[in-house]
Chains A and B, each alone.
Chain A
Amino acid sequence: MLKKTCLFLAAASALLAQDAEKLAALESAVQAAQSSGDNAWMLTSSALVLMMTGPGLALFYSGLVRKKNVLGTMMQSFILMAVVTVLWALVGYSIAFGEATPYFGDLRFALMNGVGGEPNGDYAGTIPHQTFMVFQLMFAIITPALISGAFAERMKFSAMLLFCSLWLLIVYAPMAHMVWGKGGLFNAFSGGKLPCFDFAGGTVVHITSGVSALVCALYLGKRVGYPTETMKPHSLVLSFIGACLLWVGWFGFNAGSALGSGSLATSAFVATHFGAAAATVGWLVAECLRGGKPSVLGGITGAVAGLVAITPASGFVKPMPALVIGFAAGIVCYLMVAVVKHKFGYDDSLDAFGVHGAGGTLGALLTGVFATNAVNNALKDSAGNPAPLGLVDGNGGQILNQAIGSALAWGLAIVGTLVILKICDAVVGLRVAPEHEIQGLDLSQHGEEGYSLES
């Protein structure tokens, strides 16, 4: 009897072991499938975000300048695709995503040390660390490129390169660390002391670039002939194509910031699209209410303003609030560009501040209103339940946190940009000579013409 029982037990445990083995194999297969799915979307998103800079932003901006500056303006975006990549590989990524202080990272990932095919669980557990690194790189490329809208048509190529390189390391990388880095000051999901929600870069990308743009516009002064001379966009056709590419690329920017291909990515995708659509309508309504015609430039600028404002909120809000945020951004950014700018008289040539600075700040604040754990439950309270996020969850104090995060981004952008401009002014000089400005950047800086009548 005893013997029989023993035999039975042995057979049962053998079966159990077999089951466990099967189960483990199944589990790892499921993990591999999820990992492949996530990685496919994240690589696609990375490519989409690069497309936002070139050709998206390059076309959007270069259509808005006069034709003598079309190549110079394109080059300001394009060169950053190269230079920021090199800086990011050397030290930029590590300053942003290493660990050390709440303000900036150490050099553990410098020279791509330890950045390989294995996932980094601190950031994204289902995709290779390299995928995460290259996705973040695309953000680092477009952010300084956005600033170029403020100093368009008058900055030396050398000064622009030096400025953007220093700006990436001194302003962008620390800000990215504070918001997204492990142990960052504002990183709610990694023990940050001042949780400021920024899903895809309202503070990190748009406030920093937009506010720095305003500082650049004020520091450099107006273009020769502004505002008496006609400086109308030389090709809204280029700008139109660029803006549409930005809209599409933004799905990678925001939905990609889910760092996976699950339902959060879908939610961010929908919010992004809704924000852009509502802002387009908002801008055009504002334009018509002020007695103007519904312009194409207004429509595409409104779309970009909506995309900017929804960026910090995209992974935290439901579709209806996304419409509200977008519509508000369309109207506010229109007033910033069409009324406030002319009142103060600064020459933010392509409205980098009016769209990105204002839209980014508005979006950051409204994220504190509409963020909800019904969309994003990654943040847990001490009992392990989803923590309330914004005002709609009953956490009105989050608006204050958002304001603090935005204020710090403003402060860092203002101080950092001023210091960097001083350095660049002393080392290479910021502005091209007046005769070169009149001749145009294409000829004076690059020795080429965008449109050649002789050939």
Chain B
Amino acid sequence: MKKIEAIIQPFKLEEVKEALKAIGIDGMTVTEVRGHGRQKGHKEVYRGQEYMVDLLPKVKLELVVPSSRLEEVIKTLTAAARTGKIGDGKLFLYDVAEAVRIRNDDRGEAAL
């Protein structure tokens, strides 16, 4: 099993969710986060006082998928989240040791 942590533009969330649903990936956890990579922030001015805002609002998706489906999910996710401009975000992949469904103690891929 692999865990995908995807940082994406907030306005792409709906598209990504729909695309994943279309290939049968239902489970995910979504968090509103702030951060930046190479994308620079912007300047805000309040009554002449300037503030640099470099942490920008993003959405973080976490989902765990069977290793066999990993490439397919990555392809779907990147295609749906891409605008081609700086600030589109990143994916980070992790190995997952185990998964447990709390309701009935299912283990491994059966728990996904």
Is B47 touching A338 in the complex (CB atoms < 8 A)?
yes
Is B49 touching A351 in the complex (CB atoms < 8 A)?
no
B33 to chain A, nearest CB (A): 15
Number of A-B contacts (CB under 8 A): 28
A293 to B43, CA, bound (A): 11
A50 to chain B, nearest CB (A): 27
In the complex, the chain A residue whose C-beta lies closest to that of B50 is A292
Is A301 touching B51 in the complex (CB atoms < 8 A)?
no
B44 at interface, CB cutoff 8 A = yes
A394 at interface, CB cutoff 8 A = no
Is A338 touching B51 in the complex (CB atoms < 8 A)?
no
Is A351 touching B47 in the complex (CB atoms < 8 A)?
yes
Is A293 touching B45 in the complex (CB atoms < 8 A)?
yes
A337 to B47, CA, bound (A): 7
A339 to B45, CA, bound (A): 13
Is B49 touching A339 in the complex (CB atoms < 8 A)?
no
A378 to B46, CA, bound (A): 43
A13 at interface, CB cutoff 8 A = no
Q: Which of A230, A339, A351 has the most chain B CB atoms inside 10 A of its CB?
A: A230
Is B45 touching A342 in the complex (CB atoms < 8 A)?
no
**Looking at the complex, which one of A290, A297, A334, A342 makes contact with B46 (CB distance below 8 Å)?**
A297
A351 to B46, CA, bound (A): 12
A314 to chain B, nearest CB (A): 25
Is B48 touching A337 in the complex (CB atoms < 8 A)?
yes
Is A232 touching B47 in the complex (CB atoms < 8 A)?
no
A345 to chain B, nearest CB (A): 12
Interface string of A320-341 (1 = CB under 8 A from B): 0000000000000010011101
How many residues of A sit at the interface, in one of the four size bands? Answer: 10 to 19
Is A295 touching B45 in the complex (CB atoms < 8 A)?
yes
Residues of B within 8 A of A334 (CB): 48
A359 to chain B, nearest CB (A): 14
Interface string of A212-232 (1 = CB under 8 A from B): 000000000000000100101
A242 at interface, CB cutoff 8 A = no
Is A295 touching B49 in the complex (CB atoms < 8 A)?
no
Residues of A within 8 A of B45 (CB): 292-293, 295
Residues of B within 8 A of A293 (CB): 45
Is B48 touching A342 in the complex (CB atoms < 8 A)?
yes
Is A227 touching B49 in the complex (CB atoms < 8 A)?
yes
A128 at interface, CB cutoff 8 A = no
A198 to chain B, nearest CB (A): 27
A396 to chain B, nearest CB (A): 35
A181 to B90, CA, bound (A): 70
Interface residues in B32-53 by Cβ distance below 8 A to A read: 44-49, 51
A150 to B59, CA, bound (A): 38
Q: Which of B45, B46, B47, B51 has the most chain A CB atoms inside 10 A of its CB?
A: B47
Is B44 touching A232 in the complex (CB atoms < 8 A)?
yes
B93 to chain A, nearest CB (A): 31
Is B46 touching A295 in the complex (CB atoms < 8 A)?
yes
B11 to chain A, nearest CB (A): 20
Interface string of A401-433 (1 = CB under 8 A from B): 000000000000000000000000000000000
Residues of A within 8 A of B46 (CB): 232-233, 295, 297
A232 to B47, CA, bound (A): 10
Residues of A within 8 A of B44 (CB): 232
Residues of B within 8 A of A301 (CB): 47
Residues of B within 8 A of A339 (CB): 48
Interface residues in A73-110 by Cβ distance below 8 A to B read: none
Interface residues in B42-71 by Cβ distance below 8 A to A read: 44-49, 51
Show the binding face of A for B, using Cβ within 8 Å. 227, 230, 232-233, 290, 292-293, 295, 297-298, 301, 334, 337-339, 341-342, 351
Q: Which 5 A-B pairs have the closest CB atoms?
A: A338-B48, A337-B47, A230-B51, A232-B51, A232-B46
23 contacts between A and B (CB under 8 A): A227-B49, A232-B44, A232-B46, A232-B49, A233-B46, A290-B48, A292-B45, A292-B48, A293-B45, A295-B45, A295-B46, A297-B47, A298-B47, A301-B47, A334-B48, A337-B47, A337-B48, A338-B47, A338-B49, A339-B48, A341-B48, A342-B49, A351-B47
